[in-house]
Structure 1
C-alpha cells in the first residue's frame, strides 16, 4: 500500500519534467501508467487523470496560439496554463500521498 502511494506521488510529480527539461511530462507518466495500470486500480484511475490533463494542456496551448492575435488573450492563457501545469501536479501528489483522488482543472476526458 505504501509503495503504491509512493508510485502515485512519483507519477504525479513526473509531470513537472516538462518544466525542468522541456519534455517528458507526458511520456514518463504514460510509461508508468501503461506498465503498472493492471496491477492497481488506483494507479489506473490516477494515470488516466494525468494523461487526460497532459493532453488537455497540449490542446489548450494550441488554442492559445491564435488567441495571441486577439488582444493578447493567448498570452494570458499561456500564463494561466503555466501556473496550472506546475501547481496541480504538486497538489495532486500531496492528495495521492494521503489516499485522495486527484482533480485536474481544464481537463478534457480523452481516456475514460
Structure 2
C-alpha cells in the first residue's frame, strides 16, 4: 500500500535545483513504490532535468560558435529554476507536476 508523503515529493522537485537530475533520480528510484504519486512526479522531474541538460549543451555549443548562446543562457537559467519550484508547489497542493518542453526519456 502506498502512503502519501507530500514533503518527499516537494523535496524531490527542490533537490533538482541543487543536484540536477541526480537528486530526483535517487529519490524516485528508492521511493517510487512506497510514496503515492512519486512515480508520476519523479518521471517528470527526471525527464525535465535530462531535457535541460541537452538544452544546455546546445546553448553552450552555439555560445562558442556564434555567441547567441550567451544571449539565451540567462533565459534558460530562469526556466531551469522556475519550473521545479512550480512543480514543488503543485506537489504540495496534490496537483500534477508542470514541466513544459520535456522530452519523455522515461515513460
Q: TM-score, normalised by structure 1?
A: 0.84
2:78 maps to 1:78: no
Give the superposition deviation at 1:15: 1.0
Residue 33 of structure 1 aligns to a residue whose secondary structure is helix
Gaps of 5+ in 1: 18-23
After superposition, the C-alpha distances for 1:38-81 in whole angstroms (9 at most, x for unaligned) are: 123510000000000110111001111222223x3211332122
After superposition, the C-alpha distances for 1:86-112 in whole angstroms (9 at most, x for unaligned) are: 111111111110000011122211110
Residue equivalent to 1:7: 8
After superposition, the C-alpha distances for 1:7-36 in whole angstroms (9 at most, x for unaligned) are: 11111111111xxxxxx2211111000001
Task: Kindly tell me the number of residue pairs found equivalent between the two proteins.
Answer: 105
CA contact (8 A) 2:10 2:92 kept: yes
Residue equivalent to 1:34: 29
Q: TM-score, normalised by structure 2?
A: 0.88
Alignment counterpart, residue 64 of structure 1, candidates 33, 36, 59 = 59
2:91 maps to 1:96: yes
